[in-house]
Structures are given as C-alpha cells and as structure tokens.
Amino acid sequence: MSLHKSHTCGKIRFRDHREAVTALHSVATLRKRAEEEMLPTRRREVRTYECDACHGYHLTSMAA
Ligand SMILES: [Zn+2]
C-alpha cells in the first residue's frame, strides 16, 4: 500500500477534513468580500468531501 499517491485526481488536495474546512472558510470569506464590493468571483465551493482517488479531501461547489 503506497502512502504517496497524491495528485492522482488532479485536484487541490487537503490532508484531512480540518484542513479542508479551514480552506473552505477562507474561500467563504473571499466570496463574501467580493459580493460586498460587487466584484465577480468564481469561487463557489460550499462543502468538503473525501476523495476515493487520492484519499485526501477536496472542496466542491456541488451541494450534497
Ligand atoms: Zn482526490
């Protein structure tokens, strides 16, 4: 069993759920700021999920 199978799915990978949630919070802050200033933003991530391909965590804009 290899523990170094990162980047197998090509997405930004977080080591654990806590790290992904921290990233999600910073995205939410950026998005809120952009909305307040009427700036366009493409950051729509709303939740985290565990990835079967790389066994890390990712952010997604798709609702559960
Ligand atoms: Zn993955």
**CA 19 to ligand 1 centroid distance, Å:** 14
**CA 38 to ligand 1 centroid distance, Å:** 32
Retrieve residue 26's tokens.
């910073």
Backbone conformation region of residue 2, classed left if phi is above 0, alpha if psi is from -120 to 50, else beta: beta
Residue 8 within a domain: no
The count of structural domains within the chain is: 1
How do residues 15-64 score in pLDDT, each as one tens digit? 999 999 999 999 999 999 999 999 999 899 999 999 999 999 999 998 76
Residue 2 within a domain: no
**CA 55 to ligand 1 centroid distance, Å:** 6
Retrieve residue 18's tokens.
């806590």
**CA 8 to ligand 1 centroid distance, Å:** 7
Residue 7 within a domain: no
Give the residue numbers spanning the domain of 38.
Answer: 17-60
Residue 12 within a domain: no
How do residues 2-28 score in pLDDT, each as one tens digit? 455 555 788 999 999 999 999 999 999
d(CA 16, CA 22): 10
Residue 47 within a domain: yes
Residue 33 within a domain: yes
